[in-house]
Amino acid sequence: MGLLDSLRSEFIDIVEWTDDTRDTIVWRFPRHDNEIKNGAKLVVREGQVAVFVNEGTIADVFSPGSYDLVTKNLPVLSTLKGWKYGFDSPFKAEVYFVATRQFTDQKWGTQNPAMMRDPEFGMVRVRAFGTYSFKADDPAVLLRELVGTDPAFKTDEVDEFIRQSVVSRVVSALATSGVAVLDLAAHQNEIADKLATVISEDLKHLGLQLPRFVIENVSLPPEVEAMMDKRTEMGVLGNLDQYAKFQAASAITDAAQNPGGMAGAGVGIGIGATLGAQLAQALQPTAVNVPAPSSPPVIAPPPLPGSTQWYAGIAGQQIGPLSPGEVATRAGVTADTLVWKAGMAAWTRLGDVPELKGTTPPPLP
């Protein structure tokens, strides 16, 4: 190789980037110290833009396509270089390729639970997680604000910052959504679309955009979920009495299909009898606990005004209260029958009570 060929090898004639890393956002053309010859070929593929930087100043930006690097294709760089009449000599410039495609499957999640007010459960703690994708929105701003002179700017250098922005916005959105916890699943897409717009505005000053944001799940603490599962089980069971009957029938069926599992025939018979009794009891129509009609209490009417209540001792038993007429007509009453009424100090013979003398029946013939 002669001296002329050696000098020609120092000049760059094809400028391109074939990305095979899948995580590189910005890549600087590695031969930046060499000069780019006039008429060199610039190849910008779909999902890329090429940014020319001259002495730290962003000059020209090329969208996807193939370009011959001549003065008319480099208006800003030509102005900076002062080439008023075109140029035939090589020139120096740094070329950065910026990936404009989406970087997908970026994970996010709330490390600490978000507090929110729920109309049914009151104050609850919720966690959320999901995915998002981001892309370069303004390559010039991205180079100025984040990349600088980094020869290979990758996703892991910015995803943590984006993730923090995402989580802070998610926590705020959940706390102020006003949506019940049980209804969050129905509104996840709506909330996610609003968050994507808000977060894109937050990242705009860095030259980034969030085109897609997904909330995969919003979960409650395990103890709250366990209580909700119990509540769901009760709703599924429905009639607990019918469920008890079904359980009893299933137990007898299992016992009949596994006789060897019982310790001896006697034990088997005892268990079978017990299960049979339980089944018979379970299959009986369920009695409805209807309170029995209560009988009205027996209340004795008060005595008529002016009437005197008497008590008589007949055959060793106290009979009464009786009116004077009932005393006279009572069977077994004679003049020797002991009588008493309120106000008397002791029982007295009927024949010695003036009030009842006239009521004493005459002796039988």
Q: Scanning the structure block, which residue is given the tokens 């970087």?
A: 103
Residues 147 and 71 placed together within one structural domain of the fold? no
* Rg over CA atoms, the chain: 52
Confidence (pLDDT) at 238: 65
Amino acid at 279: L
Which residues span the domain enclosing 135? 103-220
pLDDT digits (tens, 9 = 90+) for 73-118: 787 777 777 665 566 667 778 899 999 999 998 999 988 888 888 8
pTM: 0.57
Q: Are residues 115 and 90 in the same domain?
A: no
**Does 173 share its domain with 85?**
no
Flag whether 301 is in a domain: no
What pLDDT digit, counting tens, does each position of 41-52 carry?
Answer: 999 999 999 999
Per-residue pLDDT of the chain (365 residues; tens, 9 = 90+): 443 444 444 556 788 999 888 899 999 988 655 678 778 899 999 999 999 988 888 888 999 999 988 877 787 777 777 665 566 667 778 899 999 999 998 999 988 888 888 887 788 888 899 999 999 999 999 999 999 888 999 999 999 999 999 999 998 888 888 888 888 888 889 999 999 999 999 999 999 999 999 999 888 888 877 877 777 777 766 666 766 777 777 777 777 677 655 444 444 445 555 555 655 565 565 555 555 555 566 555 665 665 678 888 888 888 888 888 787 788 788 888 898 888 888 888 888 888 776 665 555 55
Q: Is residue 17 part of a domain?
A: yes
Q: How many angstroms separate the most distant Cα atoms in the chain? A: 178
**269, part of any domain:** no
Domain membership of residue 227 (yes or no) is: no
Pick from 68, 99, 130: which residue ends a domain? 99
Does a structural domain hold residue 321? yes
Q: Where among 45, 75, 99 does a domain terminate?
A: 99
User: Would you state the pLDDT for residue 7?
Assistant: 41
Asked if residue 75 and residue 17 are part of one domain, the reply reads yes
Tell me the pLDDT tens digit for each residue of 126-161. Answer: 889 999 999 999 999 999 999 988 899 999 999 999
CB of 301 within 8 A of CB of 310? no
Residues 9 and 74 in one domain: yes
